[in-house]
Every structure is written in C-alpha cells, then in structure tokens.
Amino acid sequence: MASGFGWDRADAYLFDIDGTLVRSRDPVHYFAFQHALRKVFGLEATIDGVPVQGNTDIGILRAVLHQQGLADSEIDAGLPQMVEQMCAEVRRNSSQMCPELCPSVHEVLSLLHSQGKLLGAASGNLETIGWLKLERAGIRDMFAFGSFSHPLEFRADIFRQGVATAKQRLGPSAEVYIVGDTPADIQAAKAVGVPIIAVATGIFEFDHLLALQPDACFRRATDMMENF
C-alpha cells in the first residue's frame, strides 16, 4: 500500500464487476456476442482470441469486426443495433446467469454501505448486462449508480464518467476511489487521476498488479476487511 494511503477513507467507491465483484461461470454473456455478430452483420464469429479481461464490450466487438475486415465506419453504423441485440439476448437468458461473488465481497460492500459510503459500478459491460450480473449475484441494491460501456468505449472514459457522477451527488470535493482487478483498471484510473485499489481476484496475480504501483493492492477482499 502506498505510504499514507488509507483505502477506507474515500467518500465513494467505483467497483469493476467481472473479476472484482463476481466471476461468471455461465456462457450467457459470451453467446450474446455471437448472437449480435450474426444478427447484425451475418457473421459466424466468436470472441475467442480477443483479450477480454480489462476490455469493454464495445472494444471486444470492434476487435472481432476488425479481424473480419470491417472498417470503423461500418462498425460504428452497426453498434447501436449490436448493443440492442446483445442486451436483449442476455435479458432473454438471464435465468441461466449464475455469477459467483468473489470471496468476502458482500462483507466489504456491507461494511462500506454501513459507513455511509456511496457505491457505484464502473464496468466495461454494457449497462443492461452489468446490472443483470449484479442482480443475479444478489448485490444490485448495494449500488446507487453505474458507468458502463456504450456510448463510452474506453475504460478511462467509463471511470471518468463514474467519478463525475459521484462528485455530482456528493459535491466536487468528494474523494472517489476505484476498485479493480486488471492492469487496465490501474492504467485507466491513473489516466483519470483517481486512486486505484487493485485486488488479485481475477486472472492477474498479486505480484503482477503490485508491480504496476496501484495505491493499494490486496490478494482478496478478505484482506481489505483486515485493513479497515
């Protein structure tokens, strides 16, 4: 942890979803990409081979379509329909979603909530999909607002909007921290100029995240509780 940094001192916290709050074992979100690509562009393509951890849904779609030889102008023209198709597909299959809470996440959220902290989601998921994951995981009610992919595409912009929303609610002097599990979260938070708390609950190892110099780094949410 950076010298003098107290992870519990913020007025508001923005939490990434996948790998930070929940782990999704079901294929609902994955198949929604294929459905949208088939429905809008008539492509039998998958997202296999495209980095997804730390990416955004729009970034993933764009990468796949680039691989298929489409220009950005063609992609941008089809994005609204692809977003609509993905969200509709996930809503249709939401009963099959079974996200698992990362260890001690509920306890950390409950503790922050009891301290009067404002909690927001800041995720590369499309909004409908992100909220459904949190709802199915049983923690939707913990979050007062969210910032998601589309029309935003880049993680730094998603964080920037989340921070702005928190400050609109609490005032311009409010302190906002971000919690994430990937190098992309660390890089984006630094680009926005907001403290970042890294948790090694996704696919990236603790030492990997620590080397990127987040303001605080924990192996799991349990360790956060011990340092509260």
- Tokens for 187? 């890089």
Task: Quote the pLDDT of residue 225.
Answer: 76
Section 2-15 average pLDDT: 86
Q: In which band, very low, low, confident or very high, does the pLDDT at 1 lie, cut at 50, 70 and 90?
A: low
d(CA 195, CA 175): 9
Tell me the pTM. Answer: 0.95
Give, for 90, the enclosing helix (H) or strand (E).
Answer: helix 72-92
Q: What percent of the chain has pLDDT over 90?
A: 90
The pLDDT tens digits of the residues spanning 27-78 come to 999 999 999 999 999 999 999 999 998 999 999 999 999 999 999 999 999 9
What residues have CB less than 8 Å from 4, skipping those under 6 apart?
Answer: none
In sequence order, which ranges of 95-214 are alpha helices (DSSP H)?
Answer: 105-114, 127-136, 155-170, 183-192, 206-211
Domains of the chain, start order: 12-24+99-226 (3.40.50.1000), 28-96 (1.10.150)
| Average pLDDT over the chain, rounded to an integer | 95
